[in-house]
Structure 1
Amino acid sequence: MAVCGRLSILGILVLAIHFQQQSEACRFAELLQGRTIEGPYHGRELLAIPQVNNTGKAETLANSKERLKATIESINEYIKTAAPINFADLVTPVGNYTDLAVFWNEATMVGKYLPGAIAYTIKSIPDLLEEARQAAVTKWQNQINLAKLDPTYVTIFKTLDAVINPTITGLALRVGFHDAGTYDPNASAKGGANGSIRFEFDWPSNAGLQRFIWPSIWAAKQQLDKVLPSPVSYADLCAIAGAVGVYKTDGPLINIGYGRPDVTGPDPFQGVGSNTNQQRDYPIQQIIDEWAFYGYDIETLTVLSGGHSIGFSASTNPQGTISANSRYFSSRYYKQIILGDAFFGSDRALGDNPATLKIVEELAADNLLFYKKFSAAYTNLTWAGVDPAVKRLGL
């Protein structure tokens, strides 16, 4: 009961953002007791104070409230003519964890309360608030810019946006990667972004896609084929689904166009990444060499790896376990590499090579640069293997 009472006081910030009644905060406290958050912090230990934030200043509840208020004011000042944004609007409930989606107190923020959720201590709050501010501004800009794009592209994009659940944004991006990732410039049948993934669900690298993301792709196609002048290709749906995954996590709006034709069978090879499983600790040079074989330089490798900043993944493979989820598509992924806290073995390896580390550091320091480079790299990836004679529509 004491813990519940204490959280009711600390829960002022929680109440302001997410919870509506004191009883809900108490119920959360009861659920938190004895529940382990993966990482160095346990729920009860998160109540320890005082702590020092990354500016060297002791953090208090008042400081946290002031920082939150300033963040919201900054967002609304930037937007001005648009409707004011409440910080709660940035929160997306997760599956059955609707009332546990986001939890703040003066010691922690857990982005999405799932097994393996990242525990954010008070030291992280300033960075997280800035990340949320940037995400809110990006979200507003995206909504304006989407209306300016090709009408057919907008129709495809919005239909996918409506059917893709916020809990599978990482899989949405993954289906775009994996359909295009079969591209092999050295082969006569080059593969690439051609919709072949619908015949490749039994490949180990595509585990889970048929069950979790394909129903959304299929539902979008059924709707779109009724309203578009001609059937939308699976190649376009997969590619644009990836862009939607980024969009739904408040990353950049990526216009990758449409017009990719479908093939009628699987590609003959699995393509880039198939020989260096990301959950294993392969030497960075081996990863670089494999990507180079398929025509990708180290910048493309490093930039596209940033797609791991969203989604949830877990493995019991003894050679590498990852368990992570993220609300925002952001360059925080690269900061985690620098700190040695990356999830996949392939992610950690990016910090082992001077050339890739230099790119990692540049992207970690500039979120907008990451947006720009990722947008360009993903667009190029989603046209890999497509006949140059095919007209790229909507760009």
Structure 2
Amino acid sequence: MAVSICAPKVLCWTTSFLLMLMASLSKAVLDAHYYDHTCPQAEKIILGTVYEASMHDPKVPPRILRMFFHDCFIRGCDASVLVDSTPENQAEKDGPPNISLASFYVIDDAKTRLELACPRTVSCADIIAIAARDVVTMTGGPYWNVLKGRKDGRVSKAAETINLPAPSFNVTQLIQSFAKRGLGVRDLVALSGGHSLGFSHCSSFEPRLRNFSSVHDIDPSMNDELAQNLRKKCPKLNKNRNAGEFLDSTSSTFDNNYYRRLVAGKRVFGSDQALFGDYRSRWIVEAFAKDQSLFFREFAASMIKLGKVGVIEKGEVRVKCRVVN
């Protein structure tokens, strides 16, 4: 057995090599081919489950995409958003920003099928990541190879959902929030394009419609026609909890119309519209508005990057996504 002896304060080549090897291994946690041998049918099973659910309920795609964002932005992509609350602990899904999350049953159904095909193999965190890619592709967006090998976390706390970026955030707040997850301004603008799909209740944008400031009743960055339309849909003392507006005029199709409407001042969320009003993000918005293929490439790259946030190596593979093993 070879023995390496290093003089004090002298870097030992063997030690250096081992450290570099360990560093490279620590970065190689995720792999696009992770289940090729242990569960080769995993992605096919997930796609089939998501497709069937989407055919029955068109709200499924935006809900799954939002679920992925909300999971990764708290403790990282560890499926903590799926855990049910208990008498001893209020979980993430019951935190105020997550009350409107839905379609958890889709992930449950996929997990049930996967447990039959390859027990205790595919993590719930990977199911969400793959399903998020599938709903984007199914609705006309880009395809990318999802890196896999995530483990499921054992902790989920509703109080931590306060760290999710709010619809009222300005660009500085958004940049800071994304930076904490290792994401830059281009990632911020690209991932905001996820709002190409979906619907929002009045409570998320109502502050833009009345008493916006001491000078303006309505947010001046909002298109006048849109503002008046939203005021009708969201009247004062509105008791209809389901009232709201689609996030995009093509809300069931993933495209770059999000950015074209942003340029026109027709975004529902203040945080979205702010991207066009700030020099740090405006040029990226304009580029995506002009070139859908560019947006698709950047969105896919940013989704891969987001999917690496907070990945844990020593978690578990839950048997049921709603319950820690």
2:181 to 291, 294, 298: 294
CA deviations on 1:332-373 (whole Å, 9 max, x unpaired) are 101111111111111000011112000001111111111111
Determine whether 1:277 maps to 2:166.
Answer: yes
Is the CA contact 1:272–1:291 (under 8 Å) kept in the aligned structure 2?
no
Number of aligned residues: 228
Given that residues 166 and 248 in structure 1 are in contact (C-alpha distance below 8 angstroms), is that contact kept between their aligned partners in structure 2?
Answer: no
1:312-344 alpha-carbon deviations (Å, 9 max, x no partner)? 222235314761151210111011111111111
Equivalent residue, structure 2, for 1:225:
115
Deviation at 1:195, TM superposition (A): 1.0
Counterpart position of 2:146: 256
2: CA distance between counterparts of 1:316 and 1:168?
A: 21
> 1:293 and 1:262 mapped to 2: Cα distance?
21
Distance 2:292 2:43 in 1: 26
Aligned equivalent of 2:131, options 241, 244, 262: 241
Paired residues for 1:15-26 under 5 Å: none
Distance 2:128 2:60 in 1: 14
One-letter amino acid of the counterpart of residue 269, structure 2: F
Once residues 311 and 283 of structure 1 are traced to their aligned partners in structure 2, the CA distance between those partners, rounded to angstroms, is 21
Matched, 1:207 2:103: no
Picking from 314, 319, 344, the partner of 2:207 is 319
Please report how far the alpha carbon of residue 163 of structure 1 lies from its aligned counterpart in structure 2 after TM superposition: 2.8
Question: Does residue 1:158 correspond to 2:48, yes or no?
Answer: yes
What does residue range 1-395 of structure 1 map to in structure 2 within 5 Å?
151-164=41-54, 165-182=57-74, 191-199=75-83, 200-209=92-101, 212-228=102-118, 230-266=120-156, 270=160, 274=164, 276-278=165-167, 280=168, 282-317=169-204, 318-320=206-208, 323-324=245-246, 325=248, 326-387=251-312
Q: State the SS of the aligned residue for 1:350.
A: helix
Q: CA 1:272–1:362 in structure 2 vs 1: closer, same or farther (change >3 Å)?
A: farther
**Partner Cα separation in structure 1 for residue 163 and residue 207 of structure 2:** 17
Shift of residue 258, structure 1, vs aligned partner: 2.5
Q: Show structure 1 runs of 5+ residues with no match.
A: 1-149, 183-190, 391-395
SS in 1 for 2:297: helix
Asked if the contact 1:153/1:257 (under 8 Å) is kept, the reply is no
What amino acid does structure 2 have at the position aligned with 1:203?
G
Identity of aligned residues (%): 32
Which runs of 5 or more structure 2 residues have no equivalent in the other structure?
1-39, 84-91, 209-229, 231-243, 316-325
CA distance in 1 between partners of 2:184 and 2:160 (Å): 19
1:206 partner amino acid: N
User: CA shift at 1:224, angstroms?
Assistant: 1.7
Structure 2 SS opposite 1:323: strand
1: CA distance between counterparts of 2:78 and 2:46? 17
1:9-35 deviation per Cα after TM superposition (whole angstroms, max 9, x unaligned): xxxxxxxxxxxxxxxxxxxxxxxxxxx
In 1, Cα distance between the equivalents of 2:110 and 2:41?
Answer: 16
Cα deviation digits, residues 258-289 of structure 1 (max 9, x gap) = 22111122158747962x411x2x33222222
Offset at residue 223 of structure 1 (A): 1.5
TM-score by length of 1: 0.53
SS at match of 1:316: helix
Relative contact order, higher structure (CA 8 A, sep 6+): 2
Contact 1:309 1:331 (8 Å CA) reproduced: yes
How many Å separate the matches in 1 of 2:162 and 2:138?
26
Q: Matched residues in 2 for 1:223 and 1:388: separation?
A: 24
